[in-house]
Amino acid sequence: MKRGRNPSVSIVIPNRNGGETLGDCLRAALASHYPDFEVIVVDDCSEDDSARIAERYSCRLVRLKKSEGAGNARNQGVRHSRGEILFFTDADCLLQPGAVARACDVLTSSSTPLVVGGTYTRRAVDDRFFSHFQSAFIHYSETKRADNPDYVATHAMALRADTFRQSGGFSQSLRPILEDVELSHRLRRQGVKLMVNAGIQVGHIFDFSFLGSLRNAFRKSMYWSRYSIERRDLTADSGTASIELKTNVAMLVLGWIMLGLFLASGAVAWLWLAAGAQTLNIWINRHLLRAFRYSGDALFAGGAMLYYLLVYPLPVGLGAFVGAIRYWLEI
């Protein structure tokens, strides 16, 4: 890739029944402030009107005959691409106008193999509390170790096409999630540097209700725990599976135990210990709790803090437990 010119870019978007968001996604991608790019939509056997929606836009539509997951869809998109740089995003994500250009600037300024990731905007596209909570939580978690992240997520992942092809692409054995985490880990073992640039942003359409947020937390935690047990890095500080979140879950469980001991014994010391544990938890999570304030007004920050400390650990902990049980049952 020659310096001093704009390398061509292929924006690859896997789609499976994303008809409600795909049109917005494509309008945002096609509005990118970059001179040479193409948009490739890979339809993974959608059962809605996704493919017909894609046909209305200036993009290349690849229709798969068999659904094999997002990893395979992205690999197929690369096979139909012409870009020197690949930019992966999702059908429920809205690229910010300068995201592609910034990713290319970072990649072309590096003389070593590199994967650069972006993150969500602090506020979600849909104006719902639990969507804003999720966007703020992920934005903080993905950018706190920008120079040395554990992984780069495919809602905004860019790398040279030759780096991707030499890696072997996304694993097709990991379904339905975590193929981006596995690829990131494999690329790092191959000597490729990972980094996150907070200026590369996408707006996400979560449309999360309270129950939707809980279900998402449970599902992600279940798959994460199985993957982490296999890799023997369950305690790693890994993006949204952060030390802060793991501490948050542990402290809530510990608090319940201490409350139970107080009720059983009547000893007030257990209440003091529970209060001390939660105080320590707040201190460990202080940067995330401050990030909630940056993402909205005081009312949002207070609600997000209470939800994160008192409710969110429940589905995360339960998901981790179920994932561990499933892993041990399968070996």
Contacts of 233 (CB under 8 A, 6+ apart): none
User: How many CB atoms within 10 Å of residue 274?
Assistant: 19
Output the pLDDT for position 5.
75
CATH ID of 9-208, from 3.40.718.10, 3.10.20.30, 3.40.47.10, 3.90.550.10: 3.90.550.10
Output the pLDDT for position 3.
53
**For the chain, domain boundaries:** 9-208, 230-330
Q: What is the pLDDT along the chain (331 residues), one digit of tens a residue?
A: 455 579 999 999 999 999 999 999 999 999 999 999 999 999 999 999 999 999 999 999 999 999 989 999 999 999 999 999 999 999 999 999 999 999 999 999 988 999 999 999 999 999 999 999 999 999 999 999 999 999 999 999 999 999 999 999 999 887 788 999 999 999 999 999 999 999 999 999 999 999 999 999 999 999 999 999 998 888 888 999 999 999 999 999 999 999 999 999 999 999 999 999 999 999 999 999 999 999 999 999 999 999 999 999 999 999 999 999 999 998 6
Output the pLDDT for position 111.
87
